[in-house]
Structure 1
């Protein structure tokens, strides 16, 4: 067997193995009970960071304000928005003063990322201090009216090991061609990496936090130092879950979509910028250049396999990936398959562009997001 044949079969095997893991994890992903029995009333404070989210924040806030859990208070930190988000937030605050409070913050202290500082500020407010639970959600997330109540019921669904931190996987709304081609299968890749049935096991290394919905017991949050314990951690949701699980708290993950959904990014530029931010946060960031060649080799396999003498493998992968990963996305979003999923190899190009940009940022010692450079050293 020539070396090119070995590479071809290896790339194919890795992609198929990823699909097997995805399907296995999907089958083991818990589902929230549709109509759970009544639970003792617990107070929840939803903490939302907002920085230039005018396109999504109004619809998102309206769904949280409509939650049927009565003991819910919402604290939004407007982190220096300049795009009209502030006016939207103030209008909602005036209309719902009993449930929503908005804080404006224009100063980011040294040694903090903006989102982490905004969530820290929200968690220190009286509503959050008095709450039994904290819910962290991004500013573009929309939820069905009964979602929070069902999630709270899920935390005690295992009476001997109730959850201390619960993450829900959302459905991803896509509009532009780049979002439709890239995001759904990228979201599937996340689930392929996280074995949901292993996350609650105390001795297993798997953990999960999700920016769209991470529900945290207040006492557990304080016990690990909250966001103040990792002010420069860009992947704050996952790392909070990691710290809490390491401290002995129970971490669980369940399906949120289609009752929980969001439009994460608007267009190709935001997609690349998001990869830039997250890749720069990886612990071994200096190895990023070494990760690019194998990632491109695997992700672009359907394109180069025919030239390597394996057109059958190329066709198999081109059809199998959107079919199997797309089925998961249809269930998470409640929407039909999209023909643009056939462009799934574009994921590799977005990853490469964002990773190269992230490496450049780390060489400069900064993390960049939404027009703000934060020094990391």
Structure 2
């Protein structure tokens, strides 16, 4: 077998293995009950929301949390130096619902913190959060159906749980978002085996920026966000630290009742990769891993020239069919024909990852107009 044949079959096997894992993990991802009972005196929850220049999605997101039918919910939103009208959106809703929402304005980022981590830390230190039995962390662009928190809490109380993540549906608008984000969401499910997350002997863990519910006691045991103030992937790493401290981590389906539009256009997607891709502990493997990922992602384009046109066609059709089916179930929306162009995702993947690696070599993290040094 020539080296090109070996590369062709290796790429095909990696893609097919990813699809098998995606389907397997999705089938093992538990769902929330539709209308579960709650205790007569449900445990208190404080939702902590960091907001920085999110005026396009914030109104609907804030309204969805204010409309939750969970009675023991209080919300603390930290306006982290917004300049786009987000402040006015939050203040209007605080005025309308002071019984449920309190807004803090923060214009100073101390040294040694990333902005989101500091905002969540500030929220977690407020009286409402200090008094709560559970903390819920959700980004400022996340929308939830009115019963979602009640159903998630019932799920957490039904079995030993200290930190629960829900997988949201991702809303898309532009062609670039429609092409890139469904496959990115599928890749997350490939990497996280949900049936292994609660197993204390298995290293799998899961936290999600759209919805991470954690017991206050577990959060304090790992010093919360103050325990990792420069951790860019704060949601996943919080779950990792909590699980490593001996607490129980679980993950379940959130979408379509939990959904968010994270980005507006392909440029936003690439900038998010710049923030997150090199934030994981194994970031130093990027120079080796990126060429492999690019070759696998582009394999339907180069396999015909390597003498494997049938294999290329099979992969081209299977990825949108199988990954697309999972995305339809998460989002509740029909398959998008643009997914047929999925190999083109390799180009923004390569661009964003290389940019993230360059930032990491410089020792900085860049997001929403802030550049923070990751080391002295």
TM range (shorter): over 0.9
Task: Name the TM-score, length of structure 1 as normaliser.
Answer: 0.98
CA distance in 2 between partners of 1:48 and 1:211 (Å):
10
1:319 is aligned to: 317
- RMSD (Å) for aligned C-alpha atoms: 0.8
Counterparts of 1:91 and 1:296, CA distance in 2: 47
What is the CA distance between 1:349 and its match in structure 2?
Answer: 1.6
Query: After the TM superposition, which of the residue ranges 210-219 and 349-358 deviates more from structure 2?
Result: 349-358
Give CA deviations for 1:252-305 in whole Å, capped at 9, x if unaligned. 000000000000111011100111111121223233222221010001111111
User: How far, CA to CA, are the matches of 2:72 and 2:282 in structure 1?
Assistant: 42
Q: For 1:150-229, list aligned pairs within 5 A.
A: 150-158=151-159, 162-229=160-227
Note the 1:22-37 alignment, pairs <5 A: 22-37=22-37
User: What does 1:32-51 correspond to in 2, within 5 Å?
Assistant: 32-39=32-39, 40-51=41-52
State which drifts further: 337-346 or 222-231: 337-346
Task: Kindly indicate whether residue 104 of structure 2 is the aligned counterpart of residue 103 of structure 1.
Answer: yes
1:363 corresponds to: 361
Q: Does the CA-based 8 Å contact 2:38-2:150 persist in structure 1? A: no
Is the partner of 1:345 in helix, strand or coil? helix
1:224-243 matched pairs, under 5 angstroms: 224-243=222-241
Distance 2:213 2:249 in 1: 10
How many residue pairs get matched?
A: 374
- 2 CA distance for matches of 1:200 and 1:31? 15
1:211-238 deviations in whole A, cap 9, x for unaligned? 0000000111001110000000000000
- Equivalent residue of 2:46, what SS? strand
2:258 to 241, 257, 260: 260
1:347 Cα deviation after fit: 2.5
**TM-score of the two chains, using structure 2 as the length reference:** 0.98
CA distance in 2, matches of 1:101, 1:200: 33
Structure 2 portions without partners, runs of 5+: none
For 1:56 and 1:376, the matched residues in 2 are separated by 29
Q: Which residue of 1 aligns with 2:18?
A: 18
Deviates more, 1:288-297 or 1:57-66: 288-297
Query: Comparing 297-306 with 33-42, which one deviates more in the overlay?
Result: 33-42
Q: Following the alignment from structure 1 to structure 2, what is the Cα–Cα distance between the partners of residues 142 and 277?
A: 23
> In 2, Cα distance between the equivalents of 1:74 and 1:343?
41
Q: CA deviation at 1:359?
A: 1.4
Tell me if structure 2 keeps the 8 A contact 1:275–1:350. no
Q: CA deviation at 1:41?
A: 1.2
Partner of 1:287: 285
Aligned to 1:249: 247
Q: Specify the SS of the correspondent of 1:135.
A: strand
* Aligned equivalent of 2:86: 85
Unaligned runs of at least 5 residues, structure 1: none
- Does the 8 Å CA contact 1:280/1:367 hold for their aligned counterparts? no
* 1:186/1:347 contact within 8 Å kept: no
List 4+ stretches of structure 1 deviating above 6 A.
none
Where 1:261 maps in the other structure, the secondary structure is strand
